[in-house]
Chain A
Amino acid sequence: MFRRPREDARAIVRITFDGLALEAREGDSVAAALLAAGVASCRTTPVSGAPRAPYCMMGVCFDCLVVIDGVGNKQSCLVPVREGMAVETQRGKRELGA
C-alpha cells in the first residue's frame, strides 16, 4: 500500500488498468502508478499462477510484467505512463501475437 505526496505539481495522466480508470502523474513509471493506485498484483506466474507485484523497480526482477496497449511482457517499471495507456494484468506467459 502506497500513497502519493500531498503536493505534486506534475500534470495528471489518465491510464486504465484492467479497464478501470486510474490517475497517474507525468513522469511516473507504470509500475509506480499502479502501486500508488492501490493495485495489489500486476501479473500471475507462468509456473504456479501465483500473484506477483513489482519488486525491484529498477528493471532487473521482471515481476512487474504487464500487458501495455495489447503488447505483453512489458516491464512496467521501465515504461513511463502516457495519456490513454491501457494496462492489463499479465496472466502467465505472454500470448503469441500479443
Chain B
Amino acid sequence: MSAIREQYDVAVIGAGPAGMAAASLAARAQLSTVLFDEQAAPGGQIYRGVTQSPLRDRSILGADYWAGEKIAHEFAASGAQYVPRATVWSLTPEREIGVSIGGGSQLVQATHVVIATGALERPFPIPGWTLPGVMTAGGAQTMLKSSGIVPEGRTVLAGSGPLLWLLAWQLLNAGASVDAILDTTARESRARARPHLPAFLLSPYVWKGVKLLREVKKHVSVIADVASLEARGEGRVQSVAYTAAGAPTPLELPVDNLLLHQGVVPNVNLAMSVGIEHRWDGDQLCFVPVLTPFGGTSVPGIYIAGDGGGIAGAQAAAWRGVMSAADIVHTVHPQAATRAAKAARTTLAHFARGRRFLDAYYRPAPQFRMPAGETLVCRCEEITAQQVIDTVALGCPGPNQMKSFLRCGMGPCQGRLCGLTVTELIARERGVSPQEVGHYRLRPPVKPITVGELAELPKDDAAVKAVVRI
C-alpha cells in the first residue's frame, strides 16, 4: 500500500457501492482520491466479500450480489488510493479527517469529502435480544457472503423487510435449513401501502421480489401477523416465544439461532458528528441528512452518498455516489461531469420508483420499535425501556439528558443500537415528534481509539502551549 498523503482533492469514507462509484469517478477525472474503509476488502455490507467470497456457485447469493463485482473492479482500476482496515474516527467541518490504521492514527486534509458509510440494521429491541444465538439477519448474511458460513441447527428468522426474505432464500440456496419465518409485518402497514402499489408495480423490484417470496414460502413455514417476540434461554437462546394473530397465548418454538431484522436505517454517526443538518423522516422512521440532489450537505465540501443519505438500496447507492462525485468533478471538467450526472439522475428516478411502497409496507410496528418493561434498550449499558420511560416522567426531555441520568448511549457502540429507540420512546412519552426530541449529540471520536493513539498525533505549537505550563 502506498503511503497516505497529508492532502487529497477527494476523500471518500466507506467502500460500499456509493463510495466505490464516487471514488472511481473522481480518480478517473484526475483528482487525487483516497478511499478509507473499515473492512478488510471492498464491497461494503451489501457487496461484502464480493472480491474474495469462497462461494463459487453464483446462484447461492444471486445475480444482484455479483453485480457488485463490476463496481469493485472499476474501483480497483480507477487509480483511487484504497486504504482498507482504516477507521475514520473524526471529521471536522474544515474537512480534516482523523483515521486509525493498524493501531496508529493520522490526520488527512481533503478539499472534498464523500461520506458513504451506508446503513445499519434498525434496532430490534425484544426481550432477550442480547442472548448469544440471537443475531441480526444482516450478520448471518455477512458470514455467508464473506466465509460461506451458514447457521446450523434450528434456525428461525423473525421480523420484516426485503432482507429477511433475501437471506432466507440465500440460506436455502446454500443448503442450510430455515425452520420458520415469524413475519412481523403489520396488517395496518400493508393497508397503508396500498396507494403506493401502482408505482411499485412499475419498479424494478417487483418480479424479483414475487419470485423470491414464492420460492421461500415453498420451503419454509411462514407465520404471519406476529405481534410479539421474545428470545428465551439461559446463557444462550433456546426458544422464541411469539403471539400470532388470533391466538390469545404465546406459542414457543425451540431455536438454536434466532435471526432478527426489521429494515435498515442510515448510519448517521460520522455525519452528525460534523454537524450536518438532519431531519426526522416520518416514512422511514429515522433521521436522514438534509441533502441537495447531488448529496451535498449543510457543511460546504462534504457530501453524503448512498444509503447514509436515506435508504434507497444498493443500485441507487452507486448512482448516488456518481452524482456526488460528478458535482465535485464539475469544477475541473464541467462537460464530462454533466454527462455522468444526467445518466445518474435518470437511473435514480427508476430505482426510486416503488420505494414508498416498500417503506409503507414494511413499516415496523410500534411495539417492535418502542419496547416496554424490562426489555433492554441500550445493549452496552444495559438500560431498560422502563428506566427510560420513568426518567422521562422525572422531567428528562431528551436523549442527551438521558445520558446523564442513565448512561444510555454512552457505551462503546455510541448509541448506534439504541439511538432511534430512545428518541422514539421519549417522543411518545412526551407526546411530541421525534424531530423535536432529536438524536444523541454525537461527537468525535465516533469510534473508540486509545488515548495513546490521540497523544501520538502531530501537534502544532498552539496545541502544545494550550496544555504545557512554562
Contacts A1-B151, A47-B382, A51-B235 given; does A58 touch B411 at CB 8 Å: no
Interchain CB contact under 8 A, B54 and A53: no
Interchain CB contact under 8 A, B413 and A2: no
Interface segment, one of B27-35, B142-150, B308-316, B321-329: B142-150
Interchain CB contact under 8 A, A78 and B148: no
Interchain CB contact under 8 A, A62 and B147: no
Any B CB within 8 A of the CB of A56: yes
- In the complex, which of the residues B85, B143, B267, B381 contacts A47, with contact meaning CB atoms closer than 8 Å? B381
Q: How many Å lie between the Cα of A52 and that of B71 in the bound state?
A: 36
Interchain CB contact under 8 A, A2 and B382: no
B residues less than 8 Å from A78 (CB atoms): 38-40, 85, 87
The range of chain B's interface size is 35 or more
A residues less than 8 Å from B151 (CB atoms): 1-3
Interchain CB contact under 8 A, B143 and A51: no
Instruction: Flag B408-432 by CB within 8 Å of A: 1 or 0 each.
Output: 0001110011000000000000000
A18 CB, nearest partner CB in chain B, Å: 15
Find the residue from A35, A40, A57 having the highest chain B CB count within 10 A. Answer: A57
Q: How many Å lie between the Cα of A65 and that of B379 in the bound state?
A: 13
- In the complex, which of the residues B45, B150, B448 contacts A73, with contact meaning CB atoms closer than 8 Å? B448
Interchain CB contact under 8 A, A2 and B142: no
Interchain CB contact under 8 A, B413 and A57: no
Any B CB within 8 A of the CB of A32: yes
- In the complex, which of the residues B136, B152, B153 contacts A55, with contact meaning CB atoms closer than 8 Å? B136
B130 CB, nearest partner CB in chain A, Å: 6
Instruction: Flag B220-261 by CB within 8 Å of A: 1 or 0 each.
Output: 000000000000000110000000000000000000110000
Any B CB within 8 A of the CB of A92: no
Contacts A35-B149, A40-B235, A58-B139 given; does A5 touch B134 at CB 8 Å: no
- In the complex, which of the residues A47, A48, A57 contacts B135, with contact meaning CB atoms closer than 8 Å? A57
Q: How many Å lie between the Cα of A28 and that of B150 in the bound state?
A: 13
Interchain CB contact under 8 A, A29 and B379: no
> Chain A interface secondary structure, helix, strand, loop or mixed?
loop
B350 CB, nearest partner CB in chain A, Å: 28
B284 CB, nearest partner CB in chain A, Å: 18
Any A CB within 8 A of the CB of B174: yes
Interchain CB contact under 8 A, A2 and B149: yes
Interchain CB contact under 8 A, A35 and B143: yes
Any A CB within 8 A of the CB of B340: no
- In the complex, which of the residues B52, B175, B236, B379 contacts A61, with contact meaning CB atoms closer than 8 Å? B379
Query: Quick one: closest A residue to B383, CB to CB?
Result: A47
Q: Please report which residues of chain A, range 1-44, place their CB below 8 angstroms from some CB of chain B when the two chains form the complex.
A: 1-10, 25, 27-29, 32, 35-36, 40-41
A85 CB, nearest partner CB in chain B, Å: 14
Q: How many Å lie between the Cα of A80 and that of B102 in the bound state?
A: 12
Interchain CB contact under 8 A, A25 and B54: yes
Instruction: Flag B20-62 by CB within 8 Å of A: 1 or 0 each.
Output: 0000000000000000001111000100010010111000000
Any A CB within 8 A of the CB of B289: no
B residues less than 8 Å from A88 (CB atoms): none
- In the complex, which of the residues A3, A56, A59, A65 contacts B149, with contact meaning CB atoms closer than 8 Å? A3
Interchain CB contact under 8 A, B382 and A48: yes
- In the complex, which of the residues B45, B85, B412 contacts A58, with contact meaning CB atoms closer than 8 Å? B45
B residues less than 8 Å from A47 (CB atoms): 381-382
Interchain CB contact under 8 A, B120 and A27: no
A residues less than 8 Å from B143 (CB atoms): 2, 32, 35-36, 57
Instruction: Flag A83-94 by CB within 8 Å of B: 1 or 0 each.
Output: 000000000000
23 contacts between A and B (CB under 8 A): A2-B143, A2-B151, A3-B149, A5-B54, A9-B54, A32-B143, A32-B149, A35-B149, A36-B147, A40-B132, A40-B133, A41-B235, A51-B132, A52-B130, A54-B139, A55-B136, A57-B139, A58-B138, A60-B416, A62-B412, A78-B39, A78-B85, A78-B87
Known: A55-B139, A57-B142. 11 other contacts (CB 8 A): A1-B256, A4-B148, A27-B40, A27-B147, A28-B147, A50-B130, A50-B382, A54-B135, A60-B413, A62-B411, A80-B40
Q: What residues of chain B have their CB less than 8 Å away from a CB belonging to chain A? A: 38-41, 45, 49, 52, 54-56, 85, 87, 120-121, 130, 132-136, 138-140, 142-143, 146-153, 174-175, 235-236, 256-257, 267, 379-382, 411-413, 416-417, 448
